[in-house]
Structure formats: structure tokens, C-alpha cells
Amino acid sequence: MKSKIISAILILFVLFASHSQSFSQTKIKYKKIEPRNVWGFGFNYAENGFGPSIGVFAPLGRSTDLNFNLAFSGVTDTRELNRYDALGNSVTYGKINRIFMIPLSIGIKQLLFKGQIEGDFAPVLNIGISPALILTNPYNLSFFNALNYMTTHFGIGGYAGIGVNFRQSNSVTMNVNLNYYNIPIIGGGVQSVDYNTINNVGGFQLGFGVIFTH
């Protein structure tokens, strides 16, 4: 009986040793973890103004991110007419207010054709909502003095558009987006010039940015 137990232990030892040797000679393949968007910053150029933006991302799926983007820009009226006086100073006739807006874009960033397109180029679909804070102050006062007379307005709407991502490395991606915003102002419009009212601060917006991943 004892000899059978010893024989069984020896057989198990040999099997374990041979299995361990084959395992040690097998190359272990690790699954590649794909970098995900974390945060980014950029610069937006719109029909009525331009300015910087910053955003953060939360992954919802393999090719989908929830995007929070905060931007700041001035707002101009397309009807504004700039002229120069006798001293060479630029003058906007009829301008009564400076206008600024701070939109918060909350939306879905969907990477299209995931796994079907090879390389560092990837088309993107953007869609979401965009509440906005609109600020105005008198144009006839100097910039810093006018800050004491700032008034606030609010707008809310949505946006949709397309873009492309260009991956530069495992941690940096460049992106270009063309979105259309529809942001009507709640409770009436605002005036940049005295002969027109702005009721919607949306429009086409071209954005350039850098996204950092991990």
C-alpha cells in the first residue's frame, strides 16, 4: 500500500514538473489595453466669436465617451460695421454692449467604424445638449469698469456634428470637429448693436483640440 502511494506521488511529481516546464517555455500574451480619453483642451472658432475650451471624458463603451466641455468666447453681431476715425482708432457704430458666452456642452462622442479602419485616423460623431451662460456689459465703459455692470442671461439648446481624431501617441490625440449649435436665449434676446437683437447664440463652430489619454 505504501509503495503504491509513493508511486502515485512520484507520478504526480513528474506530471507537475513536466507541466511546469512547458508552461515556463510558453510565451505569455498580454491583452493590449487601449488608451481612453481623459481630458483635453482646445480652441473654437464660431460664426459669432472664438475662444478656448476644456473638456473631460467618461467612457460609456468601447467606442463611446460621455463628454463634458466648457468653453468661453465673445459674441459679435454679424451686422456690426467697423470703421476707423481720423486718429486711426477702430469704431463699431451703434454698438451698445459687449457680449460673452460660456456654454457647457454635455454629449456623446461616438467613434465611428471602430475596428474597421486601421491606423491613427478615426471619424467621430458628436451630439448633445448645451446650456449656456450669456453675459453682457456696456460698451461705452472701459473693459474693467464695465465688469461692475455685468448682466446675465441664459440659453439652452443642443448640438450635433462630425469630427476626426488623429492619434499622435498612446497618450496624445489631436482632434478637429465641426458642430452646429442651436442655443436660443431664454426670456428674450440680447443686443450687441442698437439696431438688432440676438435671440440665438448658436451657429456653426469649428474646433481644434488636444485630447490626453491613459
pLDDT tens-digit map of 68-114: 999 999 998 888 877 776 777 777 888 999 999 999 999 999 988 76
AA letter at 43 = F
Q: Which residue numbers in the chain have pLDDT < 70?
A: 1-36, 85, 114-119
Which residues have C-beta within 8 Å of that of residue 118, sequence separation ≥ 6? none
Helix H segments across the chain? Answer: 2-25, 143-146
pLDDT in tens, 193-205: 998 999 999 999 9
Residue 15: per-residue pLDDT: 43
- The three cell numbers locating residue 170: 498612446
User: Nearest CA to 180 among 156, 207, 160, 201?
Assistant: 160
DSSP class of residue 61?
S
